[in-house]
Chain A
Amino acid sequence: MWRSSLLLVGSLLLAGCSEVQTLLATPTPTPGPTPTSEELTLRLSLLAPRDGLPSGFRFESGRYEPNQSIIAQAPDPVSTGDLVQRWGRVIGYVATYAPLDLVEGQGFQVSLDLYRTAGGARAAFQEGPSAPPGAVVDRSAVTLLGDESLGFRLRDNSGEVIFYGFWVRKGNLTASVYSQGLEPDPAGTTEAIARAALARLEAGMSGQTGAP
């Protein structure tokens, strides 16, 4: 279930629309010169969180996710290609984290997406998560993180939670966290992971990515 969900959530940010309620915040200025998209592209793999994670989990795998591969995997490649172009998505990076003892059904994924402009990232963010057939997105109140953030859980028809999600945007970068099996507080733990991802994004935007 975990692996199929990973495939599922990978395309959520670029999937179809649903009504959105986002929590907007005043952008926080970052120190120093703003890195260019090219510089952030080269740093993206370094922005995946490697510390501040829930205990018992570790970085399992990571890969760049170019637009080409997202479009190729999308159910509707043409409309997905249009969205990618309209939002000005540059590239993304997907990192997967697994329990040290590899318990089936436990783990989480962090997807980082870079857009040419903050406006493009905001437009992508505000499309919001959408549910695949047979599932429902259930929004939840969350702490405001970054420039905007939102939390949700994806439920199946029986009401069982398939995974927890937390999105955060900072400038022209977004981080999407999807988790499964993070008991006893899956929503809180998912938010904590998003905080760790945000800290990396903020460090990256100020040019202090450090070693992975």
Chain B
Amino acid sequence: MRAIAPQGIIAVLCLAAALLTASACTLAESFLVTSTPTPAPPSGALLEERLPQMLLRQDDLPSGFVAWSESYQRNEDILARAGGDPEVVRSLRNSGRQTGYVAVYQAMDPTDVALEGIFVILELYDRPEQASTALYRDPRQVAGTAMRPVTIDPLADESLAYTATSQDSALYSVWFRKDRLTAAVFTSSVASDASVEEAHAFAQRLLAHVQAAGL
């Protein structure tokens, strides 16, 4: 019998990312990339259906990792969790967010790996400008942990990255926008040699699936 409980930090990340999507954030320091013109994307409903196809796949993951859980994260879910908080309601309505999708990846045998987990969130907006605004809301405050910006090679239409490290773990996040979709990849690691390049590599694979899905 093998019973795996989600790693604590991953569970915290899920909560933090959910809050991020619904909260009003301050402008963050960012690393801008020149926008690239793209062909007309699929309609909103079709794109929403394709969100699960954009996720990381088995071949993208380290050996022994699985998609532990994945789910749509609709505005209704966020509003329900917010319990009618008028600030959340107002912020969400003004954001242009259509829907989102989240996935947590982790090893079946977590004692065997330095990488504790990977967390991915995709969010779809009505318009690219709204997605861009969302990308630059402050993602540095995750679960009360101070995130600091990190320089990365540009991804998609625009991108940025942050990190938070402690004595025994490192958290990296790479965020990008492709047209009216934003994506974020978090990696949590206990390895002393963990780097943003690892999260960036996952983000690159994610971007390839996003593009293959029609964006």
Residues of A within 8 A of B (CB): 38, 41-46, 50, 58-64, 66-69, 84-85, 88-91, 100, 211-212
Contact = CB atoms under 8 A, between A and B. Distances in A.
B71 A64 contact: no
Given A46-B58, A100-B49, A212-B52, A62 B2 contact: no
A130 B71 CA distance: 29
Interface size class of B (residues with CB under 8 A): 20 to 34
Interface string B68-105: 11111000000000000000000000000000000000
Interface of B: 1-5, 45, 49, 52-53, 55, 57-58, 64, 66-72, 108
Contacts, number: 62
A110 B3 CA distance: 20
Q: Which interface residue of B1, B49, B55, B71 has the most chain A CB atoms within 10 A?
A: B1
A211 B57 contact: yes
A45 B57 CA distance: 11
Contact of A212 (B3, B45, B57, B71): B57
Contacts of B5: 66, 68
Contacts of B3: 66-69
Contact of A42 (B52, B66, B70): B66
Nearest to A81: B1
A121 to B, nearest CB: 15
A100 B45 contact: yes
Contact of B52 (A46, A59, A91): A59
A67 B4 CA distance: 9
Contacts of B53: 212
21 contacts: A41-B108, A42-B58, A42-B66, A43-B58, A45-B66, A46-B58, A50-B52, A60-B71, A61-B70, A62-B67, A63-B71, A64-B68, A64-B69, A66-B2, A66-B4, A66-B5, A89-B1, A100-B49, A211-B58, A212-B52, A212-B57
Given A100-B45, A100-B49, A62 B70 contact: yes
Q: Which interface residue of B49, B66, B71 has the most chain A CB atoms within 10 A?
A: B66
Given A41-B108, A42-B108, A211-B57, A85 B72 contact: no
Which 10 A-B pairs have CB atoms at the shortest separation, nearest pair first?
Answer: A68-B3, A61-B71, A63-B69, A66-B3, A45-B67, A67-B3, A67-B1, A66-B4, A64-B68, A62-B70
A106 B138 CA distance: 38
B49 A90 contact: no
A90 B1 contact: yes
Contacts of A59: 52
B112 to A, nearest CB: 12
